[in-house]
Amino acid sequence: MLATSRTLSVRNGKRAILAAPRPAAVHIVRQRQLVPARSINSVAQTDRDTITRLLYSIGTKREVERYLRIFSSSSDANQPAKFAVIKIGGAVLDQVDELALNLSFLYRVGLYPVVLHGAGPQLNGIIESEGIVPDYIDGIRVTDAKTLSIARRVFLEENLKLVAALEKLGTRARPITSGVFTADYLDKDKYGLVGKITRIDKRPLEASIRAGALPILTSLAESDSGQILNVNADIAAGELAKELEPIKYGTKLKLREFKELLDNLPRTSSVAVISADMLQRELFTDTGAGTLIRRGYKLYKHDSIDSVGPDRLRQVIHDRDPDVLAGDQSVTGVLNELKKAPYTIYGDEPMDVVAIVTRPEGEIPVMTKLLASRSGVLNGIVDNVWHAIKKDHKKLFWTARADDENRAWHFERADGSFTRNGKSLFWYGIHDVDEVEKIVKGFEANGRIARSFLPVGPRHRPSAALGTRSYSSFARRVLPGSQRGYATAAPSTQPKRVALIGARGFTGQALTSILSQHPHLELTHVSSRQLAGYPLKEYAKSNITYSNLSVEDVEKMEKEGEVDAWIMALPNGICKPFVDAVDRGAKERGTDRSVVVDLSADYRFENGWTYGLPELYSRENIRAAKRISNPGCYATSTQLLVAPLLNHLKPGVWPTVFGISGYSGAGTIAGPPEADGRPTTAPKVTPESLGGGIRPYALTNHIHEREAGYHLSHLLADPSQAFKVAFIPNVAPWFSGITSVLSMPLNGKLNAKNVQELYEEKYSGEKLVTIKKEVPTLPDVEGKHGWSVGGFQVHSDGDRAVVVGGLDNLLKGAATQCLQNLNLALGYDEYAGIPL
């Protein structure tokens, strides 16, 4: 990257970066702006994928992907997206090729930075060669008419040189040397033709961004009368940052100017001083790099609820506590628990982070709650609160849900951990497992933690042959400067065998195609009564011939351990004999049963089966499951749509979902045979039969209506309370892809931004969920492996929200989701074999 010494950036919400060789600087300012209508083509996408993989080496995959998603542009020019503003010092321009590579890097991962450059060293060299001695007062260049004339020429030359270097790399750039900054004289008698910016015109920047070109600016300004004025580039970058409501801002200002800048930015802004070789780490990881300066809030710690404010604390618990949101606890129950023992509440003044530590006399303290807002996590406030806790307590235990999106944060701060029944127990300050077990036994006896963590370790010794995983860990001793390591098992890479029953339909065909790309799973048996004896075309890893497995064949295969997993892709009502056969075979074998994933509706309401929708329900339960019911396509989209707004539903009414699916969702029938007699599949509903329109069907009591309501009820504070969804399905004349429109009556006033934030918070870090401002359309979902949501609207009365979601009914609505569940249950990475 840039061959430099020190850099500066100001962060607001997230980080930015500045790179600088002495004495100049490159400063990045992250902000909001309109985005280009044109996106990078497929070649650039390949570059982006390559760069993304390289970024994984400097941060966790989740961190990198979250920041890439945050920094990437929207395709809707009417909606703002985040991008970077970069101030480049003149000395960096001498390394223009290397600079262009860095800017091209940002461009190719989806950022459209606005680049503002100086040219101080170049200007000094020219004016000195012409016998003019540079004159500075208070660090400001005194500018006369001759100096300004040279400055204009130098700025233009350096600007065009950078544009040419970018264009040479295939990165579109547009020179903008005037028309952005309007200024008055700073002090004409003292400084000459030096300006103080009074107005910024964003339109040239917006036009460049829309055209897919990086705007390359100089810091020259014009007065209202048309006089060109010289403006310090650092100051110009600062004014641009304020005008564009930055997320981050960087500049080589003095410390007093740091304070002045921070006084004009949101309190969450900060300044980071970093080295240039830390560019990617600063941009794409939570920890960032360098020295941080921030105008933050004071931290507090109180020993009573009254000192914090009961209403404020109650609201934080109601809004953020995962146990309360999941219905496992109530707000009142949480507060009543605090009456049982002394406690300390830690946090910051706006309560972006609240932590509660119980500390009975003579016992090890337990952090019972750590409740952070998104701002608290992204701005590092949670770490500041954590340091305050650690300063007070040399030993500490705490728990977190196994599906916590910030679970990695807990592992990084723990000396040991253990996961069981959907929760992880963490601790630091204790390094002997026997002591840990003794302490946990005391906790359970006194009711300080749930009775689920003993013994501290696997319930039985894991069998390496079967690939059984343990979830206990102790931190390994690490050398100074190395990364902390944990003994928790990594995702399995052990090859395993899977059989597919019911491969003739569209879903079966999609499954064989996906399994063909899986790095660890081998498809060994494919069963179809009609296609028995014919070769399987969609699978490329080995030659497979269709068979026609009977119930007896399945029982024998399970008894002899021929496969590790079964996928049942059969029509509704047909699966049970095959599942029963697997059960009988496993019983005779006397060892662990194979995993069964059923794509029909037969087991979606059955006790003993785990419902496999990882984005909403416990991933840990799926990992531990042997019998998994794959959700229906409409039901998946409906639940993902409703869940973020569930706590905002008006009592006594139903949300309504209007769904439209491609005709592949209606199933298949036998088609005319091929020339060699091979049977073919034809859609049950053809586009021609729809006459170019849509056909509503099953207008009440659709199976997915009942399925969605039944499982969403588990997310309510009282899961025993019945929950219903009004669902109206329609079939359309395209092949695959579902659009679902949710209309949700609200129990209070919300606006569209509030609604979008609920979805962003709910699905933060979910790799198969895409959140966009505009309405998802068919190209956003057809052939895609995830779920898209957008078009967030609220009625003018503020009492009804409308949100649009979509997925491919054969992929995220069936085959892709099946593979997610199979990966989890077999110990693989959840997304193994799924193109992301």
DSSP string over 491-554 = PP---EEEEEE--SSHHHHHHHHHHTT-SSEEEEEEE-TTTTTSBPSS--SS--B-B---HHHH
- Beta strand pairing call for 595-598 and 228-229: unpaired
What interhelical angle do 816-826 and 506-515 show, nearest 10? 50
Residue 647 DSSP one-character state? G
Alpha-carbon distance of 197 to 178, in angstroms, equals: 13
In 3D, which of 292, 392, 377 has the Cα closest to residue 342? 392
What count of Cα atoms within 13 Å lies in the side-chain half-sphere of residue 250?
39
Alpha-carbon distance of 625 to 383, in angstroms, equals: 35
Q: How far is CA 210 from the centre of its chain?
A: 25
Q: How many CB atoms lie within 10 A of CB 818?
A: 26
Identify the active-site residue in 205, 586, 633, 794.
Answer: 633
Residues 6+ apart with CB under 8 A from 26: 2, 4, 7, 18, 19, 20, 86, 87, 88, 89, 92, 99, 276
Alpha-carbon distance of 386 to 352, in angstroms, equals: 13
CB 599 within 8 A of CB 573: no
The torsion angles phi and psi of 744, rounded to 5 degrees, stand at -120, 110
The torsion angles phi and psi of 779, rounded to 5 degrees, stand at -60, -20
The helix or strand, by DSSP H or E, that contains position 216, with its residue range, turns out to be strand 214-218
Give 320: exposed, middle or buried? Use CB within 10 Å, 0-12, 13-18, 19+: buried
Beta bridge partners of residue 745, listed in sequence order: 800
Asked if 818 is an active-site residue, the reply is no
Chain position carrying tokens 């021609």: 688
Alpha-carbon distance of 2 to 98, in angstroms, equals: 6
Q: Is 805 helix (H, G, I), strand (E, B) or coil?
A: strand
In 3D, which of 788, 782, 664 has the Cα closest to residue 731? 664
Chain position carrying tokens 């969920």: 769
Residues designated as active site:
633
